[in-house]
Amino acid sequence: MDRENELMEEDSKKQKHWNKKCIVLLIVILLTGIVMVVGSSYALFAIQLKGEEVNRVTIGTFDIQFKEGMTLNLSNEKPLSEAQGLAQDPYSFTIKNAGTVDAKYRIYLEGKEEENQISKNYLRLAYQKKDATPNVIRLSDLDENLTLASEISLKAGESDTWEIRFWLDQDAPNAFQGKNFSFKVKVEAIQNVNVEMVGTPPVIYLNGGAENVEVGQTYVDPGVYSVSDAEDGVLPNEIVVNSYEFYNPATEELTTVPNIVTSVPGVLFIHYQVSDSNGNLSLATRPVTVGPLSTASITLVGDTFVEVPLNEEYVDPGYQSLTPVKVLSTPNTNVKGVYSVKYVTTDADGLAKGISRIVRVK
Q: What is the mean pLDDT of residues 157-184?
A: 77
Q: Is 43 helix (H, G, I), strand (E, B) or coil?
A: helix
Question: What percentage of the chain exceeds 70 in pLDDT?
Answer: 70
Please enumerate, as own/partner, the contacts of 84-90 that have beta carbons within 8 Å and a separation of 24 or more. 84/167, 85/124, 85/126, 85/136, 85/165, 85/166, 85/167, 86/126, 86/134, 86/136, 86/165, 88/165, 88/167, 89/165, 90/163, 90/164, 90/165
Encode pLDDT of 301-335 as tens digits.
Answer: 999 999 998 888 899 999 999 999 999 888 888 77
Give the mean pLDDT of 94-118. Answer: 72
The helix or strand, by DSSP H or E, that contains position 217, with its residue range, turns out to be none
User: How crowded is the C-beta side of 351, counted as CA atoms within 13 Å?
Assistant: 15
Higher pLDDT, 314 or 54: 314
41-50, 71-80, 209-218, range with the lowest pLDDT: 41-50
pLDDT value of position 19 = 56
Q: In whole angstroms, what is the distance from residue 329 CA to residue 339 CA?
A: 9
Phi-psi region of 54 (alpha: psi -120 to 50; beta: other; left: phi over 0): beta
What pLDDT, on a 0 to 100 scale, did the predictor assign at position 41? 23
Specify the pLDDT at position 342: 93
For residues 6-10, give the mean pLDDT.
55
pLDDT for the residue numbered 37:
29
pLDDT tens digits along 23-48: 444 444 343 333 322 222 222 222 22
More confident residue, 362 or 11: 362
| Residue 139 per-residue DSSP state | G
* Residue 51 predicted with pLDDT over 60: no
Residue 123's φ and ψ, nearest 5 degrees, are -105, 120
pLDDT at residue 99, rounded to an integer: 63
- Mean pLDDT, rounded, for 107-123: 72
| Most confident segment among 28-32, 130-134, 336-340 | 130-134
Which whole number is the average pLDDT over 69-80?
63
Average pLDDT estimate for 96-119: 71
Q: How far is CA 231 from the centre of its chain?
A: 24
Exposure on the CB side of residue 50, measured as CA atoms within 13 A: 6
Give the tens place of pLDDT for each residue, 240-293. 888 899 999 988 888 888 889 999 999 999 999 888 887 788 889 999 999 988
In this model, does residue 1 exceed pLDDT 80? Answer: no
Q: Is 56's pLDDT higher than 50?
A: no
Average pLDDT, the chain: 76
Low-confidence winner among 19-28, 74-83, 214-223, 299-308 (lowest mean pLDDT): 19-28
Instruction: Tell me which of 11-20, 125-134, 262-271, 296-305 is least confident.
Output: 11-20
- Answer with the residue of higher pLDDT: 30 or 299: 299
Q: Alpha-carbon distance 246 to 226, whole Å? A: 25
- For position 115, what pLDDT does the model report? 57
Whole-prediction pTM value?
0.53
